Structure 1
Amino acid sequence: MWKTVRRAAQATGHLLLAAAMAFGMWIFICVLLITAIGTLAVVGAWLLPETLLLIRRIAGAKRQLTASWTGVRIPEAYQPLTGTVRERFRTAVRDPGTLTDFRWMVAYYLYGALLFVALPLWPVGLVVDGVWSGLLRREPVVLPLIEKVADLEADWSTALLKPSPKARLTRRVEELAATRADAIAAHGAELRRIERDLHDGAQANLVALSLRIGLAKRAYDRDPDTARKLLDEAQDQAEQALTELRNVVRGIHPPILTDRGLVGAVRALAAGSGLQVAIDDGGMDEGVRAPAAVEAAAYFVVAESLTNAAKYSGSPRADVRLVRTKRGLRVRVSDVAGGGGADETSGSGLLGMRRRVAALDGTVDVSSPVGGPTVIEVELPCVW
């Protein structure tokens, strides 16, 4: 009984907010009329994009209100209103999201008005129903009815505010274009890094190696001791060049991933991080492995996160969690007791991480409030 009463009270609160918003929408008609007159008169055409921005905010508030009741987020799919007045006007008219919002507004004027009119009758209905329920010793009917009305209102709002397939496709194309641009930028930066590492490291060592071997050949007959010393130095130089080449290859695709798999590679990272790292592998030691590109991205996410935690967080501990989901791989790294306040604009580490993950159509969520902790959560889609 009390559960029904509590749920009915929540439904009443939701419907009260919905009715209040409907009342505000009727007041908003004045703005719509001024915008329509100004647009028809041409001189006020600049009002249309501004009014649509207001409508987007109102629709966004309604999406949040509906999601708070249903627990399901309603996505948005709008084209940005930027550029000159003419460009903003053209985008506002052609955006599929504009039609979706206007369709919802027209419908909301109707069923929102019904809510606003019906609300004053609810207390009377509750009293009458409560009396009859007490006399007949049964559960009040109005309480479940209020919840059903709230569900119906939320279902209508969800159906009307949900982006059209055309809007979702347009938004997806824009996201893929941005992701492709980021992937190209990340690829270019990676190529420049490899070129720089080869030029400054392995290539310099190989040039020095060639010079030492040449000097050793010249000194071999007349000064064997000097030649032997030069050859010893050349051997050291060759080993250093091999180390540089291994580092470059490790930056492209760590060999440890091939040898030990993702869990083993992450454990090796944890052992060399200088932190006390707790690893929850979610049973990923067994079963099918993720694709090589996904494993490499997850490896570099953990490597970058642990490096940042060791350098900046001040925390002696970190947690790493790997979770196999239905849609892919989730990686979560937390510095546990760090100071927080991570700034993505101050360095290239987190930006590089985002670009690497975006290239695989994944997502990165960074939470780093002042006082900590810093939590980095990455979703990498893949098929197991």
Structure 2
Amino acid sequence: MLPGAACAFAVLLSPAVLPDQAGRVLTAAALPFGFYAAGATARALRPGHPVADRLLAVGVLHLAGIAGAVAGARLPGGSWPAATVGWVSAVLFASGFVALLDLLARYPTGQYAWAWVAGPVRVAAVATAIVTTVAVLGSPRIVSVLELPTGPNPAHLAALASASGAFLVALAAPLLGLGLLLARYRGASVLDRGQMRWPIVTTAVLVAGLVSTGLAERVLGPEVQTALFVGAATAVPASFLIGLLRRTEEADRLAAVEESRARIAQVAVSERRRIERDLHDGAQQQLLALLARVELARARLGEGDEAVERELGAIGEAIGSVHRDLRELARGIHPAVLTDCGLVEAVRSALARLPLDTRLDVSPDVERSRFGEPVEAAAYFLVLEGVTNVLKHADTADAHVSITAAGGLLTVTVRDPGRGFADPREPRGGLTGLRDRLAAAGGVLEVTSRPGYGTTLRGVLPVAGHV
């Protein structure tokens, strides 16, 4: 921040230092000032974000190059100090384009989309410094990034005269960065694409302006070309800043939603367990006590009225049936075996009660593990919903359930070779609630089906750790 402020201050002094060149200096500095201001704002609002640092780096390097050009124009022409300042300012200014390449390669997340990109960016930085140095040595006059009047170059090497314009290769860096950004856009999420569109448009305008500078000057004139280019280019840093702020706000909002979902899932699991306990300790125990009283009354009745005995027997059977239904209801709300023994035993217990020929495959890691309550509950009810749908709709008695864990993900799959259905993307009955249940635990549900080829439910749930 401080070096950038010093360079900005030096550029703003140009009207006093070079009155006859002040317009050219300030016009050239408009875009670097935009990057510097955008970077400083981004750093204040999103400290530590790589995109903020790169925005600031582009502005500082270009301002430093321009400040060096102003300082070099005030030094004695043809002197070694002037040549040294011209060389340093040229390297800094060219490096600003490499910083723009790095910004485009990292935008909008701050990380490279592909690990291999880091190598070419480093090579571009080193190559730019070397090529610029060669161009400076090959120039017969002291190099000025603003093309200000300078004296003869005391470091000129005639053998390198043909390379005097080689530093213009640095202008290809933004073009390469734009290509990387476009390639990243193709595979980006909807959130990232929304923040990438305007930077792509504004950077394309900037690159087109850099490439066509000579032609535009001849057609429109230097003044008109400069005014149009500067006006369009100042939108570039603003588009990056707005995209960065909007993306981080959306990311924060999504993170808050995910945290809220996780809390809701945990509360739902706890509430289901509470209801199950209440049913077990309350209504079920009362029914058992009532059944015991009926049996006691029948024992005391002895060989009494057969009609009364039959009625008491019927009442006892009805109470027993209600108790069994209530026990099944409690098990469906949150099966005790899921809490006590884990996911695999709960699934085995559920499948054993169903009239299906179900094959269950469980990976050893899952067999020996316990997962978080929301994850186990979501996985259990996925299996339950899947096999229930096989019974109701698949017109088959065969099903295959598999549960695996790898790479921090628990995958639960229920397949059947039944009749299937036409559009698995359309919400159908319990699948909508199942999607919501998995989403609340941080997972996703994939449904694959085709008429005559069966149905596959595949749930993927993140497991941060397991016991």
TM-score, normalising length from structure 1? Answer: 0.50
The structure that has the greater radius of gyration is: 2
Q: Which has the higher contact order (CA 8 A, sep 6+)?
A: 1
